Amino acid sequence: MPNFKQIHNAEDLRRAAARYLPKPVFDFIDGGAEDEVALRNNRAVFERVRFRPRTMADVSSRSLATTLLGQPSAAPIAIAPMGGLSNFAPAAELAMARACAAAGIPYCLSTAAGISIEDLRAAVPDARLWYQLYVFKDDRVNEGIVRRAQAAGYEALMVTTDTHVGPKRERDRRNGFTLTLERTPRNVARVLARPRWVWDVLIRAGLPSMPNLTPYAPEVVDSLSATKYFIENRRYAFDYDHLRAVRKLWNGKLLVKGVLRPDEAVRIMECGGDGVVLSNHGGRNLESSAAPLEMLPEVVDAVGRKMHVLIDSGFRRGTDVVKALALGAEGVLMGRPAAFAAAAGGEAGVAHLIGLMKDEIDRTLGYLGCTAIDQIERDHVLIDHGFPGRNAPGL
């Protein structure tokens, strides 16, 4: 467990996770596709957005309270869905959900989680839970998963649509991390160099399966068989007709994750979608993909207030979150930082990350002359050339 007094930001948590995780496991979280241009651009784009503060304001009393998907949230952030988290730290999904519940923000469970829909709800009965759906070829699987999430009281269904083909992540290929980690002498040495992870994950907890798939695939009994089933049985062709079919199954908020185009956002709305998550999968899929923040103004201008617009990919600071809010996002999903926080310190690590983000958002709010989240406006930021939607008010 790190000394949290020395952990001041998400990058500190990343470094702490690197000391805990074997290098191939760390690289799986940390890396991106091909030359990692999209990965780097997701961060670099924030430097192209700068603040215009108002200083003549009384900001002695401030609040981060807001609404996400129409429900109260203590801050404009949530934890994004991530598969395989329990490979990084034992019961990582549970740690994240508990930390989110304590902080008053939502948590989104992945299809590829190491805990079932029902078990997570039973463990955190008061949490705001969302569920991320990867769609499978067999519609009975999709219907079964959706019905279970509905019955367990999950508020929102988030359909991920940006993984039509397998990505080329070269760090993973060099490390021999494909379906599972290859047992090469180098990898054995790397794993043994992290004895605490070996004890926590391999010995005490064991590598997880994907229990949300087990009712439909009896062959899913361990991490390898789960990954194999997931890859071979996913539906890689997902279109608007499929979205309409999911809409008929699901009674709650329906989001589509992986959107970067305003025309797609409009079509999704026409098909019954309640919102979109602007995302390039953290730079892990399509190389040279535009950063979601770049596309945010154009998407917001296209859908107005008719849809919930959330965003992820590249967010590391509270200032990053406020920039997205100024450009029209309703909230921000945190991915890699939460994974590193769970690896570095379990539930306490995730809670520390959320606390850091809240503190930075609060400070930025005050510096901008705002006392509430809904006071953040486009006119609080300046952006460089190259952003779509620059003709929008305040840009």
Give the annotated binding-site residues: 81-83, 110, 132, 134, 160, 169, 257, 279, 281, 284, 312-316, 335-336
Which residues, including other chains, have CB under 8 Å from residue 32's CB and lie 6 or more apart?
38, 39, 40, 169, 282, 283, 284, 287
Binding residues for glyoxylate: 132, 134, 169, 281, 284
- Dihedral over alpha carbons 313, 316, 320, 322 (to 10 degrees): 110
Report d(CA 299, CA 287) in Å as an integer. Answer: 21
- The two tokens of residue 157 are 């269904």
State the greatest distance between any 2 C-alpha atoms of the chain, in Å, as a whole number.
64
Cα dist. 161→43, 158, 280, 338 in Å?
Answer: 22, 10, 10, 22
Report d(CA 369, CA 3) in Å as an integer. Answer: 34
168 φ/ψ angles, rounded to the nearest 5 degrees: -105, 95
Q: Alpha helix locations (H) across 104-222?
A: 117-123, 139-151, 170-175, 185-192, 195-197
For residue 114, the SS3 value is coil
Is 308 considered catalytic here?
A: no
b/e per residue, 287-324, with b = 16+ CB within 10 A? bebbbbbbbbbbbbbbbeeebbbbbbbbbbbbbbbbbb
Residue of 8, 164, 281, 385 marked catalytic: 281
Q: Would you name the residues annotated as active-site residues?
A: 281
